[in-house]
Structure 1
Amino acid sequence: MPVIVLADGAEPGGHLTIVPIMHISTDRDHSHHSIKGRVVHKGPLVPSASHDFILKATIEEEKCGPQETSSINVVLLGMLASDFSQAVNRGDAVTASGFTVGKSPTARKDRRHPFNLLLSGERAVIRVCPRPPGDLTTPQEAPKENLLPPAAVSSTPKYTYVKLGNLTPGVVVNVYGVVVFFKQPFKSRGSDLCSSLKITDQSEQKISCSIFCPKMESHPQIFQIGDIVRLHKVKTQPYKDSLTLVTTFGFNALTFSGMVGADMEPRSSSRVFHFGEEDRRMVTELRSWLAAQDLLAPDVSVALSAAQPKMYFDLTCQLLAKAPVDSTCTLLRVWDGTQCPHALLKVTVDSNIVEGPTSFSEEHEKLIANVLVYDNHVQSAQQLKPGDFLKIFNLRATPGSVKVPGLSSSQVEEVNHLCFHLHGGTAYGRGVRVLPGNSPDVQELRRTMDAFHESNEEKRSEVNDSAMWDVWNTPPESPVSRSSMEVSTELRCDHHIRSVSLSELKRHEPGGVHHVRTRLRSYEPRRLHRTLKLYCSKCDCMQDVPDDERVASVLADASAEPSGPAGSPPWSLSGQVRLAAHTIEVHLSAQLTSEGRSKELIFLSGCTLQDARHLAATYHNVVPVRRSGGGDLALLDLSAPFLFRGRRSFYGCKRCSEGAAVREVTVDRGEVIDEKVIAEAFGVQLMKFVLLLKFRLQDAADDTLDDVFLWRDAEFFFGVSAEDAAANQQAQEQIQQTLETLCPPEGAGGEERPWLDLCLATYSARESDDLESARTFYQICHTSAREHQKKKFWSIFKEWQF
C-alpha cells in the first residue's frame, strides 16, 4: 500500500484508466480505474483501535463542467493514512487507485459527491506530485500539530547510481540492474528471511545480491527473469574473485517490468519512496538495452489448459481455498479461468479445516486445480488468503500416485490423473508470491476469468475477490433466498410502556428503558467477521480476536526461545514427533489416557499454528507450551490461544490471569474435560466470544439515532451463540442473512426495510477522562429477530394482478 512521491512537475499518472469523479458509482467495477485531482482538504491523522489510523481528505478534479460534481471525499485506513499524512500536502496533485466505493454519510452537509472512496490494504496506491514552490492556486493548509513526526519528503531527495562495472569493495551504493537469476525468500539461519538474485546492466558485469529482511514484503518483488530492480543502500563485499551486494540499514527496493512499453508502476518494498524523471530514464534505457540482448531464458509461464504431465512451469492463478494436509504439506485450490485437458486428482481433506469455500458449482469444479505445497513453502502458504492472486514458480505436473497426501484408502484410485506439486527448496526460483492487483499478469488473468463468467452466464460472486471475501469466512450461498424470507422483531420484556419517537427518546435523561418502532438504517461493521470480540467478565475489558498472523508469530517466537534442560512433569508421558523440518515435543497426561481421546490433554512444545490445529482435529484438548528457563513447561503469551479444541480456540485475559501456569488437571471419573476445567486448573481467566454491532435507526418522522449498540443480548437477538459464529459457517450465514434482510444493501431491488419493535436501554458514558465528555448511548435488549417465509397468499395476489 505505497504512497509514491514523484519528482516536481511529473504527471501522477499510471497505467490504469482515469475516470472522471462524476462517474464514480457503486454500480460500476472500478478495479481497473483511478481518479486524478488536487488535494483541497487534508484532515488530521486520527488513531483507531481497528485500523491503527484513519485520515479523511478531499480530492477535487481540475477540469469539469459547471454542473458536474468535481470533488469527492477519500477515507484512508491503516499505515496508508499515516504515510499520506506525512507525504501529502494540500494543493498536491494525486492519483488514487485500488479503492472501494461507498455511500458518503456527509454528502448532504458538504454538498460533495454522494459516494466516497475507501483506500486500505495492499491494492491501494497513492501517487503524488508535490505542488511546485510558489504555486498559490490552492492555499497552503495552516500547520497543525500532527500525531506523528513529519516525514522528510518536503525536499526532493537526490540519489546517485553506480554502474555495476564501476563497483569497488567496501562502499554503500545505489544500483539499477536487470535480474538474470533469483530465488524467492527463504528462512535463514537467523531471524531474517533471505533472498538472492543476480543482476547485470550495460557494463555486462553480473553481480550477486543477498537480501536479508525479516518480512516477506521488504524483499524485492521479483516475478520473472528480466525484471528491473532498483536497490538502495547495499554494500559491496569481496566474494572469491568478484563482488557481491548485501543489504545495510535503510535498504529498500523497487522492481519494474523489463518489457519495452510496459507501464512504469513500481513494485515497492517500502510504503513511501521517491520516483522521478531520472528513474524513468534509467528504467527506459535498461529496457531498450535488454531488448537487444540475448540474456533471458524462455518464458515458462503456462496456463492450466496447456499443462502436460512431467512439465515444470510457472502458473499465474487465483487462490480459492486452502487447507493443511499434514505438517509438511498444504493444499491450495486455484484456478486461472482455463480448464486442464487431463483428469485432475481429487484431494480430500476435512471440511472443518478448509479456509475458504468447501464446495463450488459443477462448472467451477471443472476449472479448479489442486496444488500440493511442500516443506519450506508451507510457511509461505500459511500467509496466503483466499482471493489472493498468485504466481507459483517451478510447479511440477505430476502423474497420479497412490502416495499423494489426501488420497486415503477409502477413495477410489484414479488412473492417469494429474496433480500439481510445489516441491521443497528454492532451486530454479521455486516458490509462491502474491501478485498486486495492478500487475499486468493479474489484468490478463481477470480478462480470462471474465470471459469464463460471461460464457457461462453465472454470477461472479462465487470467485470474485472483491465480493467473495468481504464478509465472514465466505459462507456458501443460502439455500433460501432473502427475497423469500421475512424478518420481524419480538419484544421479550415485561415493560408495559408505550413506544416513543426517536426525538422524544433523545430528550430523556440517561437511564431506564424505552420502546421504539424504527427501521435499521445502517450497521457497523460491514465486514461481519469483525463483530466477533473477546470479553472478560471479570475486568469488563473487550478486545479484537487476534488474527492468524499474530497467533502464528507468538508460537514461532516461543519455539525460537532458548530453554533450560528438558524435563517431563511427573504426571505426563512424553515423546517427540518429527514434523516437517522441526521436532514437536509432546506430553500426554497419563491419568487421562484410559478414558479415550475425548479426555486426553496434549501439551505441544515447539509447534506451529498449523501443527496445533492439525492435532486438535483429532485430539480434543491441545495446549501449546514452551520450555521455561528451568526446563519446565510454561504457557505461551496469552495473545495466542491457551487451548485448541477441534476448530475452536480459547483465549485467556492477560490482566486477570496473573500466575497462570501449566498444572496437573484432575477430574472425577465420568467428568468431562472442557475449556472451563482446564482454564481453572491453569489459573487462566477464560475470555468469552461476544458479538458487538452498532446500529443507526430511523423512525417514521425521518429522525435518526446513532450509537445504538447490540451486545449483551446479541446472541438472543440472532438466535446464534458467538462461539458458534466463531467456528460454524451455518451460524455465520444466519447472522448475515438476518442483517441483510433488516437492512438490504443499496441497489438491492428496492426492498423496503421492515419496521422493528425494539427495547432500548439508555446509559451515559465518557469517551475520555474529561468529566464533561459524557455522552448518551443506547443498547438493544430483550428483543429477538424472527425469520419466517413470506405468506403464500401474497405471491398469489401478485400473480392475479398480472
Structure 2
Amino acid sequence: MSAPAHKYVYTPLDQLKEGTLANVFGAVTFFKLPYRSKGTDFCSTITIVDQTNVKLKCTFFSGNQEALPRIFKIGDIVRFHRIKIQKFNNEFQGISSSGFSALVFDGNVDAPLIPRTSSKGYSFTTEDQKTVETLRNWQLGLQIFSSSRRHLSEVQPGQYFDLICQLVGKAEVDKASYLLKVWDGTKCSSLSWKVYVEDDVLEGDRDTISQLQSFTIDILVYDNHLELAKSLKVGSYIVIQNVHAKLHSTANEGQGHDAHVEFHLHGGTCYGRGISVPPEDNSDVKELQKVLYAVDLKQNQSLDPVTTSDMYSGQMSPPLDALERCQQLSVTVLPVYQQWQITAIANILKCKAPEKFRIRARLKNFQPHGLYQSVKLHCSKCNSLMDVPDEEGLNKMFEDRFNGNPNTNAPDTFWYQSAVWNTEYLNNRAVAIHFVKKCDILQNPEDSLIMLEGGSFRELCKLSCHFNTIIPVKSKEEHLEIDLSAPFIIQGNKWLYGCIKCSNIKPVEELKSLSVEVGWNAVEIAKALGIELLTHLFVMNLTLEDETGSLSAYLWRHSEQFFQTSPSEILMDSDLQKRLHKIMSILCPSRRQISENPWINCCIRSYNTNSDGKEKIGGTVQGSLPYLAVFHLAFHFPL
C-alpha cells in the first residue's frame, strides 16, 4: 500500500452534481456480476446507498474483468474514486471515467479490513477505516440490505435464492447446459432431482460424491454462464445468485402427484444472476468451511437410505429386475424416470404448457420418411438450422473450386510441407497437398493433418481413409484460405461445417498454435481458426398415439442419444443408415395397424404453438442426456 499523495474529499450521495467527478463511499444494495457487454468490454452494474438514504446506480465498463469492483454479496462496502456523475431518466448515475478505481470491503462487522482491488497502489487512511466501520454498523438490520441467501435446508419450492456452497462435481450435459453438483452442509427439505450424466463425463472424486449424495443438489447452468461454470475447479467455494428452485409436479388422474424440485441458473443477468468465486479468506467462506467440517457423514449415511432418485441419478445402476420389468412393457426403457407416473395424451392436451410428462404411446407416423433428410446442421450460437448437402451437392461444390487452380509454386514453410500432382480427371487438373508439421516434423498419415487444394469429392473420400484430418483450402494471393461454403474439416466419416454467420475466420497459420497434447481435435481446430462449429442432429416430427388421443412431437436436441446413432456420420456410412431404418421399422412398421405397433415409453415437454390462429399443444421428445429437458430414453432394440 502506498502513502496517500493527497487528501481525498468524499461526497455524500445526496450532494452529487451532474457533470462532476466524485469520490464516494457506500453500501451495496444491488449488483450484477461482471458480464460481457455487446461490445468487447465487460460491464458491471452496482447500486449503492449511504447514510443520507440516497441511492446511486453505477455502471462500469472495462476491457479487463479484474479491473471491475469484486462484489460478492449485498451489504459489501465500496469506495469509488473518480466516478463521473450524469443524469439518466432524471436520476443521477455514476459511470467509470479515466483514473477510476475501486476498493471493496466485506460488509460483515467483524471481517478484516482487507480491500478487494486490482489497483497495485492505493491510499487507505485511518479516516477511511472509520468510514467503512461506520457503514458496516449502520446497515445492520436495515431491510434494504436483507440478503436472498439461503441454506439448502431453508429453500422452498418456487423460490429464487442465492447460495454459497462447495462444488463437488461438474459435467457437461449438452451444448446448452452444464451441471454443477454442490452442497452447503445442510439438507434440502424437498426431494431434489438428480441429473443423469455418464460416469466418464462427471468430474469429481467418486467416493466424495457418493458420500455426499444425500447433501448435494444438482444445479443446471445455462447460456452465458456456461463458460464460467466449465472453468470452475472441483472443491472450490462458489456463490451462485438467483438460483430457481422449480417445483415439478406430474398430476395423474386418480394417482396423486409425483413432485420434486429442480434447480436452475437461467441465462441472462436479471436480478444479479451469475456465479462468482470469493477468496478463501472471505468471512462467508470461512463460516461455510466450519459448517462443512462439522458434518458427520458416517452418521448421516447410516440414517439415510439411498432414495429412488439417488439410485437412478447415474451414480448407481438400476437393479436388473427393474429393467426386465420395463422391457416387458415396451421397446424402450426409462430407468431414470421409472418413478414418474404415466400421463394420458388426452390429459396432456388439457394442461397448460409448458410442462413435462412421461407417456406410453405408439408411433403412428414420422416425417420425413426419407430419413437422410432428417439430418440437419444446427448452430448453437444463432440457433439456425440448415440442410446438409448430399453427395451430389458436395460433388458440385468441389467441382466449382476447380476454376481456382492451386498455387503450384507455393514454397514449403517451417510449419507445413507441400506436394503437387496432376490428375487425369477433368483436364489434367492440379491438386496440392500441404502436410502440416507437429514439433517441426511430419507425422504418419493416420496421425496427420493435411490441407488440400483442388481436390474432388471422390478424392477427398479416398484421402479421408488414410489421413486423420483433412482441411479443404484455396489459394488467394499466395495465402491459404478456409471456405465455409463447404465442409472445412473431414475426419473419416465426419464431414464438419462451420457457421458462416457466426464465425470470425482467422488465418490458417493459427494451426501452429495447437499443442501436441491437443492433437487434431476438431473442436480445438475450429477454436484456433475462429470457426463456430455446426452440430449435426436429427430433426423429426413424430405423431404419438395412445388410447385417449394423439400428439405431434418434435425430436431434435437429444436425437443422437435417442437413436444411439451419430448423425454426423450417417450420411457417409451405409451401415449406420441401415441401423436407423431398422430402428424406425421397429417403432413404426409399414402396412400394419397402429394397434400392432410396439409401445414407446418416453418423456416429452409440452409447449404452445399457433396454427391458423388457433393455439394448440405440441411437444418435444428428449433423448438420453436428460435435463435440458429432464428426460431420459434408453433404447433396447434387438439389433
TM-score normalized by structure 2? 0.49
Higher relative contact order (CA 8 A, sep 6+): 2
